[in-house]
Chains A and B, each alone.
Chain A
Amino acid sequence: GAVVSQHPSWVICKSGTSVKIECRSLDFQATTMFWYRQFPKQSLMLMATSNEGSKATYEQGVEKDKFLINHASLTLSTLTVTSAHPEDSSFYICSARGLETYTDTQYFGPGTRLTVL
């Protein structure tokens, strides 16, 4: 149980375009989802916390107008990278925790590799 999926697993886009990444909890209701970014050979950096039905809370230094997060249902959160640039190329990982899961544990998706040309 407690499976989180991400789609797509990888995406290549042109500079200036927008890219949407989906994060789904498959077998539990995720009241909270988290979005992380990971550059090569580095650790995960928390970008934002997303609670179902409310606005996301962004970490310091993360542009909320550039990284749009929507958590419209208890099983789906989306991250949209708007007007993507090469420096946005990274590995984006989501995680989820919810009512049915052990409350202290976050379950991570497999990640989405974004390459902006």
Chain B
Amino acid sequence: SQQGEEDPQALSIQEGENATMNCSYKTSINNLQWYRQNSGRGLVHLILIRSNEREKHSGRLRVTLDTSKKSSSLLITASRAADTASYFCATDDGNTGKLIFGQGTTLQVKP
């Protein structure tokens, strides 16, 4: 079953611009993770944020988590054409080890 919604479903920007993707979920979580998937390939783990954290940075990535609103956002700054991919959030309830994925955002960065 899907955990929740991601928006936008698709995003097209110019190289150098920032890209923001949002994720909402329904149940309590232990952590939330963001993954990238290039077309037809496997997933690459980007960043993990725990339920007691509000913001986390990794290079050009900034993730926020608002557990009161059950939502998270992923910001990619100074985007590059190589950032073109689908981005998924996934939640872990901390009990079963299962990851429940959002529907994903397809990002296109035009050179």
Inter-subunit contact A44/B41 (CB<8 Å)? no
The yes or no answer to A82 lying at the interface (CB within 8 A) is: no
A94 to B99, CA, bound (A): 12
Can you sample 27 A-B contacts with CB below 8 Å? A32-B97, A34-B97, A34-B98, A42-B103, A43-B2, A43-B88, A43-B103, A43-B104, A45-B101, A46-B99, A46-B100, A49-B96, A49-B97, A60-B1, A93-B43, A97-B97, A104-B31, A104-B33, A104-B48, A105-B48, A106-B97, A106-B99, A107-B45, A108-B35, A108-B42, A111-B40, A111-B41
Range, interface on chain A: 20 to 34
Secondary structure of the A contact surface, majority rule: strand
- Min CB gap B99→A, angstroms: 6
Interface centre among A34, A45, A108 (most CB of B within 10 A): A108
Per-residue interface assignment for chain A, residues 103 to 117, with 1 indicating a CB less than 8 Å from any chain B CB and 0 otherwise? 011111111010000
